[in-house]
Amino acid sequence: MSGFVEKRRGITLISELKPTERPKKRIEFLDRTAFSLDELADMTIMSFGYSEEDREIHGDYQSVSDRDANRRILELIKKEVFGQSPPALWQIALIDQRPAGLVVGFIPEAEYRPPHGVVGQLSVLPGFRRRGVGMALLGRIHDEFRFRDCRYGFVGTPRSNHKALKLYEKAGYVRTFGQDEFEIQI
Ligand SMILES: CC(C)(COP(=O)(O)OP(=O)(O)OC[C@H]1O[C@@H](n2cnc3c(N)ncnc32)[C@H](O)[C@@H]1OP(=O)(O)O)[C@@H](O)C(=O)NCCC(=O)NCCS
């Protein structure tokens, strides 16, 4: 017995950054300059930990289940530790002037690969789900990635996140590789 315990089973998907279907409901967008990182971290935690099902899927991912951890990650993305992340790669969807969802992306340094964008975080607030907000945010960040000459997009999610997998596949993503993480107490 090695003592390692499987903690997270993830999957990475890749897309050609096609435009996505336009939402039926009017959605407005703002970039991150309209919000503080605290407000954005609150939005994230509310979305990823909303239901029992959401907590089951994301509970082992501190970066989206723990508010301080999420705040720190947002700070690092903003400081461009993972790659370029200008305000336009942070899009907040508004419905009736209320924040409904958030997408945060970055473009890593890619010396040996074509330029590409990473969807670091996508979330829709509980009361706004199933109205096309997630798809609209994805379409919006695809536009921003293409505008910056990205040739494809990457996103990762837990393998058990069936609703997100359906969303990504509907937006043209294909599953590429799994990423399983193990932990041991030392
Ligand atoms: C996953 C998530 C972003 C979807 O946002 P959303 O705005 O509700 O999604 P949309 O309304 O744009 O749905 C687009 C497509 O995704 C799929 N989908 C979304 N929610 C679904 C659900 N609950 N069950 C099944 N399919 C679902 C459907 O194919 C849907 O198309 P359809 O409505 O024509 O059937 C949202 O549920 C969420 O924030 N979850 C918690 C955080 C998370 O898991 N983020 C993504 C992975 S890191």
186 CA distance to ligand 1 middle (Å): 38
Arithmetic mean of pLDDT over the chain:
93
Nearest C-alpha to atom 30 of ligand 1 is from which residue? Answer: 167
pLDDT at 22: 78
Domain 21-148: CATH architecture, name and number where available: 3-Layer(aba) Sandwich (3.40)
pLDDT at 24: 74
- Which residues form the pocket of ligand 1, taking CB atoms under 6 Å from any ligand atom? 47-48, 54, 122-124, 129-135, 157, 161, 163-164, 166-167, 170
Query: Rounded distance, CA 125 to CA 123, Å?
Result: 7
Domain boundaries of the chain, sorted by first residue: 21-148
Q: What percent of the chain has pLDDT over 90?
A: 78
Taking the CA atoms of the chain, what radius of gyration do you get in angstroms?
Answer: 16
Q: Which residues of 29-47 are buried (b: 16+ CB within 10 A; e: fewer)?
A: eeebeebebeebbbbbbbb
Residue 86 zone, left/alpha/beta (φ > 0; ψ -120 to 50; rest): beta
Which numbered atom of ligand 1 lies nearest the CA of 135? 12
pLDDT in tens, 127-154: 999 999 999 999 999 999 999 999 999 9
pLDDT in tens, 155-165: 999 999 999 99
126 CA distance to ligand 1 middle (Å): 11
If pLDDT is split at 50, 70 and 90, which confidence band does 1 have? low
If pLDDT is split at 50, 70 and 90, which confidence band does 186 have? confident
Q: Which of 13-22, 78-87, 95-104, 161-170 has the lowest mean pLDDT?
A: 13-22
Provide the whole-model pTM: 0.94
pLDDT in tens, 87-106: 999 999 999 999 999 999 99
- Please give the average per-residue pLDDT across 59-83, as a whole number: 94
pLDDT at 86: 98
